[in-house]
């Protein structure tokens, strides 16, 4: 994931800004970039999320102090952290905070409200070629599903869950009186508002069973390491009529024996002999699909880059293809026969010194330095 921007910068406030200034800046920015005003705009959504994250930290004196002291990563032993895991409360709740809505009361009255099912994350390792050219992959995963026997109610066949007697179906109990009323989740029904007197045998009353499932995902050509493909609605079932979660497939691409990849550009390091480098040659360069023939010019230096057009990786969801960049590595032989050595000595005797441009320049500088 990309580096995060400084929270003060995100909200456009000074590091010494007071709580009121932060609140003002946040409200202004959040209203401007609210996703409801920018439907289908991914960048506005990302910005909105960023603004909220910044506000979450800077509006809390403890978190702000931590941030000021330790920066983005938080204190060494954990501390606040955890936005990635869903500390962000979702657009709806922020919308309520911003524009009034039900305010603090909402969390208490919505125990039985429809809730989206959980997402399931599957990690998948695929071959380098599968990412480059696309592939159809089947995989297994575990999913908690509504019990077929009781259809998710948790009650034995022919019976129904009944309204919880302790909380009268609200899912919460109140205790104390006057100023000291406290509200907590009902201990009898666990907050669902219903109890089951005769539990379903298949799911033991939970209404859910865990099953092993097989699914198929199509990896498009050009997929890359770290990408996540989402199969909407294939996650765990929602509660109280809420929608299903998603099935997310996170891709890890195995390294290739020869090639390295950056986006759509493919890199290859290829050794050539020192005679090929000096004399020039026509060489076969391996590509992902086969080989390409390429000319190495006379006098090619170690580290020189050759570009083979269109032999890189196809652009994801596009039609263009990147290039293959070959880094030439000139190999100096380590073991020579007497015959070879003789020939090289003869070669050296035929040399004037003008063949070695860099060496000549270097010697000239040394000479200047020591003449002074
Ligand atoms: Zn059941
Ligand atoms: Zn209850």
- Give the C-alpha separation, 356 to 346, whole Å: 17
| 212's tokens | 């092993």
Q: Does pLDDT of 7 surpass 60?
A: yes
Residue that the structure tokens 């060496």 belong to = 359
Q: What pLDDT score does 278 carry?
A: 95
| CA 90 to centroid of ligand 2, rounded, Å | 27
Residue 145 contacts residue 226 (beta carbons within 8 Å): no
Q: In the predicted model, what is the mean pLDDT of residues 277-303?
A: 95
Token pair 């979702």 is found at: 90
- 143, two tokens: 């999913």
Residue 59 CB neighbours (<10 A) = 14
Cα(89) to ligand 2 centroid in Å equals 25
Give the tokens for residue 132.
């480059």
Quote the ligand 1 centre to 109 CA distance (angstroms).
Answer: 27
Q: Say what the pLDDT of residue 343 is.
A: 96
> Where do we find the tokens 């002074």?
372
* 222-268 per-position pLDDT tens digit: 999 999 999 999 999 988 788 999 999 999 999 999 999 999 999 99
C-alpha distance across the termini of the chain, in Å: 56
Cα-to-centroid distance, 141 and ligand 1 (Å): 21
CB of 266 closer than 8 Å to CB of 288: yes
In tens, the pLDDT along 307-316 reads 999 999 999 9
Q: Which range (129-143, 186-200, 296-310) has the least confidence?
A: 186-200
Which pLDDT score, from 0 to 100, does residue 157 have?
A: 86
Both structure tokens of 153: 């109610």
Q: Per residue in 153-198, pLDDT tens? A: 889 988 888 999 998 988 888 887 777 778 888 888 888 888 888 9
- Give the closest ligand to the alpha carbon of residue 172: 2
Q: Would you tell me how many other CB atoms lie within 10 Å of the CB of residue 205?
A: 20
Structure tokens at 227: 């990408």
Instruction: Set out the domains of the chain in order of their start, with CATH numbers.
Output: 7-109 (1.10.287.110), 111-159+199-255 (2.60.260.20), 162-195 (no CATH), 260-366 (2.60.260.20)
According to DSSP, the residues that pair with 138 across neighbouring strands are 216
Q: What are phi and psi of 39, to 5 degrees?
A: -60, 140
Distance 104 CA to ligand 2 centre (A): 21
Q: For residue 229, which of 146, 127, 145, 317 has the smallest C-alpha distance?
A: 317
**Span of 46-60, 136-150, 222-236 with lowest mean pLDDT:** 46-60
Q: Which residues contact 311 (CB under 8 A, 6 or more apart)?
A: 266, 287, 288, 292, 321, 323, 324
Q: What is the pLDDT of residues 76-127, one digit of tens each?
A: 433 333 333 333 334 444 444 444 433 333 344 445 678 899 999 999 999 9
Cα-to-centroid distance, 199 and ligand 1 (Å): 8
Please state the three-class secondary structure of 122-159 as a single string: EEEEECHHHHHHCEEEEEEEEEEEECCCCCCCCECCCC
Ligand with an atom nearest the CA of residue 148: 1
Q: Which residue's entry shows tokens 């652009």?
A: 315
**Which bound ligand lies closest to the C-alpha atom of 199?**
1
How open is the CA angle 32-33-35, to the nearest 5 degrees? Answer: 125
Question: How much is the pTM?
Answer: 0.60
């Amino acid at each position: 994931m990309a580096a995060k921007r400084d929270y003060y910068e995100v909200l456009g406030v000074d590091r010494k800004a007071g709580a009121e200034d932060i609140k003002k800046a946040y409200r202004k920015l959040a209203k401007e970039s609210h996703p409801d005003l920018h439907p289908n705009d991914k960048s506005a959504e990302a910005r909105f999320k960023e603004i909220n994250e910044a506000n979450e930290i800077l509006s809390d004196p403890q978190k702000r102090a931590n941030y000021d002291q330790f920066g983005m990563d938080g204190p060494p032993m954990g501390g606040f952290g955890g936005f990635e895991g869903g500390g962000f409360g979702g657009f709806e709740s922020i919308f309520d905070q911003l524009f009034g809505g039900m305010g603090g009361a909402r969390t208490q009255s919505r125990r039985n409200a429809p809730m989206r099912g959980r997402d399931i994350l599957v990690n998948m390792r695929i071959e380098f070629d599968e990412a480059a050219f696309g592939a159809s992959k089947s995989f297994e995963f575990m999913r908690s599903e509504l019990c077929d026997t009781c259809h998710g109610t948790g009650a034995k066949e022919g019976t129904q869950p009944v309204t919880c007697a302790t909380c009268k179906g609200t899912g919460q109990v109140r205790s104390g009186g006057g100023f000291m009323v406290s509200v907590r989740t009902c201990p009898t029904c666990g907050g669902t508002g219903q109890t089951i007197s005769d539990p379903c045998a298949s799911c033991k009353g939970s209404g859910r069973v865990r099953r092993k499932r097989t699914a198929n995902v199509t990896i498009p050509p050009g997929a890359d390491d770290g990408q996540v493909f989402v199969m909407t609605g294939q996650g765990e079932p929602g509660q109280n009529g809420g929608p299903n979660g998603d099935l997310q497939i996170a891709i890890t691409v195995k390294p290739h024996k020869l090639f390295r990849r950056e986006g759509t550009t493919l890199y290859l390091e290829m050794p050539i002999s020192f005679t090929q480098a000096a004399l020039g040659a026509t060489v076969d360069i391996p590509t992902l699909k086969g080989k390409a023939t390429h000319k190495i010019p006379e006098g090619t230096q170690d580290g020189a880059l050759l570009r083979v057009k269109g032999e890189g990786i196809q652009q994801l969801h596009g039609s263009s293809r990147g290039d293959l960049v070959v880094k030439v590595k000139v190999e100096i032989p380590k073991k020579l026969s007497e015959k070879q050595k003789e020939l090289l000595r003869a070669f050296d005797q035929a040399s004037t010194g003008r063949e070695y441009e860099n060496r000549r320049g270097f010697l000239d500088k040394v000479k200047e330095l020591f003449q002074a």
